[in-house]
Structure 1
Amino acid sequence: MSDDFVLQKISATKREKLGSIESRHIRRAGRIPAVVYGHGQDPAHLSVDERELQDLVKNRERVFEIDVDGKVEETMLRDLQWDTFGTQILHVDLIRINASERVTLEVPVRLRGTSPGATDGGILEQPLHALELDCLAHSIPDYISVKINALEIGDAIHVRDIEVPRGCKIHNEPDLVVVHVLSHGAEEAEPAEETEVEETETAEASEE
């Protein structure tokens, strides 16, 4: 970790009471219920400032510090629970980490460019929308970019073809297809062959 690397920090307060009723009271006060796990310690039930958390989420900060009554811990965002409309955070799960240690998590795949094969009538399919990435906690990318500008009909990009940031490693099987372009009607070819076989078998049965 470089010397100029600085984690964002938010304040947290211990929760003395648990339960849905208490959680509603906390949210009305402008705070979000939170739980911190990991590093062989018991889970800690906390609340964090809603605006501070929203800013971190908006800036896509996955790793940050929490200050609990003067005790600072490095944490990574594990899960967010949103309301029905996806506008308010109801609960947050955090994991204790060391920002310079390695973590493994799923990172979304984002396609870039336009496939000439798809433009020519092919069918662009993306079987894999996220990759399991091993990297330093403070270097987690928001997404993995995959260029599709050269994909013609019949072409595919596999896991082994993906470039990831230096120091990162993909755990998915190398032969898995991330994205490919199929010819239009390719899926119909196999049923057509089966029909032909059935007709042949029927003809042979009639002759017997």
Structure 2
Amino acid sequence: MSEQKLAAEVRTEFGKGYARRARMANLIPAVIYGHGAEPIHITLPAKSTTLAVRVANALLSLDINGEEHLAMVKDIQRDPIKQIIEHLDLLTVRKGEKVTVDVSVHVTGELAPGNVYNQEMNVVSLEAEATHVPTSVEVSIEGRSAGEHIHASDLDLPKGTVLLSDAEALVVNISEALAEAAEEVATEEAAAE
């Protein structure tokens, strides 16, 4: 995942009133914490920040008074109606550092005819280098048939990542389509009569 470069300004005012004024000026209040350092309270430009954090586990390169900080988005508070970003919590990271992230699982491919799949897990926990966090993990169901199961241990993980979720956790369950199963039962009952 590539890092997004943003210019940030240190803020000295706090509270609801300041946060409202900042948002009216198209700025997003944020805080950077981690590695035992004092939290840094900043504001970020609203438009470029909103675009940068559209992906999960976004990595931001922040320019704060000429000093570069590398941070991952830990939490986003949004307005429940307008869905605009109201505040960001950022976690300081270093190049080469390992971080724990939740990554979405995407199913690809087509099943054998007459089968359906049920995705049991939508995200898996991984440990990855902070500057190389995958955006998703793909699992192929191409040509698979009823009765097959795909567990977390069967996922093809990107190089340098380690699975933290339970290896035996069921990710995808493949079964017969119910309509076809009902037709088979009806056909068998008709043959029995």
Read off the aligned partner of 1:30 and give its amino acid letter.
N
Alignment length, in residue pairs?
178
Q: Secondary structure at the match of 1:173?
A: coil
Distance 1:17 1:48 in 2: 14
What's 2:84 paired with? 88
Q: Which runs of 5+ in 1 are unaligned?
A: 186-208
What's 1:146 paired with? 139
Q: Does 1:33 align with 2:26?
A: no
Distance 1:111 1:86 in 2: 31
Distance 2:78 2:158 in 1: 30
Distance 2:123 2:56 in 1: 17
What's 1:189 paired with? none
Distance 2:109 2:43 in 1: 42
Distance 1:177 1:125 in 2: 10
Match of 1:172 among 165, 171, 183: 165
Q: Does 1:97 align with 2:93?
A: yes
Are residues 124 and 61 of structure 1, via their aligned partners in 2, closer, same or farther at CA, if it must alter by over 3 Å? closer
Larger Rg: 1
Q: Which runs of 5+ in 2 are unaligned?
A: 179-193
8 Å CA contact 2:3, 2:58 repeated in 1: no
Q: Secondary structure at the match of 2:159?
A: coil
Give the alignment's TM-score, normalised by structure 1.
0.77
Distance 2:136 2:4 in 1: 20
What's 2:18 paired with? 22
Q: Which has the larger share of strand? A: 2
Read off the aligned partner of 2:92 and give its amino acid letter.
R
**Aligned-pair CA distance for 1:166:** 0.9
Give the alignment's TM-score, normalised by structure 2.
0.83
Distance 1:95 1:124 in 2: 37
Percent of residue pairs identical: 28
Are residues 33 and 73 of structure 1, via their aligned partners in 2, closer, same or farther at CA, if it must alter by over 3 Å? same
Read off the aligned partner of 1:170 and give its amino acid letter.
L
Deviation readout 1:58-109 (Å, 9 max, x if unpaired): 4767112111222221111112122224642111110001032111111010
Q: Which has the larger share of helix? A: 1
Distance 1:114 1:85 in 2: 38
Are residues 24 and 108 of structure 1, via their aligned partners in 2, closer, same or farther at CA, if it must alter by over 3 Å? same
**Aligned-pair CA distance for 1:135:** 1.1
Deviation readout 1:149-192 (Å, 9 max, x if unpaired): 1331111101111101111111122211101123467xxxxxxx
Read off the aligned partner of 1:96 and give its amino acid letter.
T
What's 1:10 paired with? 6
Larger mean CA deviation between 39-48 and 27-36 belongs to 39-48
